[in-house]
Amino acid sequence: MSIDQVGFIGVGSIAESMIEGLLHTAGDSEEKSAQAPRVILSPRSRTRTARLSEKYPQIDVVSSNADVVPGSDIVVLAVRPDQVEEALDGVELQPGQILLSVLAGVSIDRIRSALASEEAEKIEIVRSIPLPPVAEGDGVVPIVPGIPLVADFFDRMGKVLVVEDEKQLSVLSAATATCTGLLEYVSTVCDWTVDAGVDRSTAEPFVRAVVASLAPALLDSASSMDTVIASHETPGGLNEQLRTTFFDEGTTGELRSALDGVHLRAAGS
């Protein structure tokens, strides 16, 4: 499918990752460069827009959010949730254009009600959850609804998961909130290793490498998580001891409760 132009309203870190994923291979050959879409950026985040426009010749920076829209097949909404109405004020999309939101906790209905267009009901609006790995083409991006042009757009940055409805998207959005918690877990293990007498210059590379070695098993979606866990521990072994000691009913319950709280926020409740 042809995507000739993509506009971005808001140029934060996720938008930058998407732009990198969309354009980073464009310089590999003249053919790829010719296939890369034109990218139009709103004037937000001037330092970031200046850096990106210097790096990629396909990028133009315009003077207003409204100027992002003309000629764009897809308009990406990438502002903070509390900026939606302000960002879309005066923005008029036409039927045939797609408004792609990357915002957590902001429903399609709310976005549609903020549109200035008299034909707002005819505008296709898609919600998505792109994460930083899209910059390297390693993203797994849930979208709803499964508009083919948007699926093609994210296919250029990794894989696409079409979910059934916004409720499911909110659940997946809540799951992404575990990222820094997982990193904090690893950081605590690093700190414990140092406190137990190992130099940090040895402890951190080792612990990080141990955790990173799990990546192939995690990426093998054909194996259930129970199978993955069982394949990395021996009955009565050290891994089983730590897992069953730490993840008792109380700890697991606290994690589920915290996820419930994040889910309420991600659902806009």
3-state class (DSSP) for residue 248: coil
Question: How far is it, in rounded angstroms, from Cα 163 to Cα 174?
Answer: 14
The answer to whether the Cα torsion of 215, 26, 39, 50 is positive or negative is: positive
Question: Tokens representing 233?
Answer: 């521990």
Which residues fall in the annotated binding site for NADP(+)?
78-81
Say if CB 144 and CB 127 are below 8 A apart. yes
Classify strands 59-61 and 74-77 as parallel, antiparallel or unpaired.
Answer: unpaired
Which residues fall in the annotated binding site?
65, 78-81
3-state class (DSSP) for residue 71: coil
Where residue 71 falls (left for φ over 0; alpha for ψ -120 to 50; beta otherwise) is left
| Helical ranges in 213-248 per DSSP H | 215-219, 225-231, 238-246
Question: Which whole-number Å values give the CA distances from 95 to 16, 72, 78, 158, in the listed order?
Answer: 27, 12, 21, 28
Which residues fall in the annotated binding site for NADPH?
65
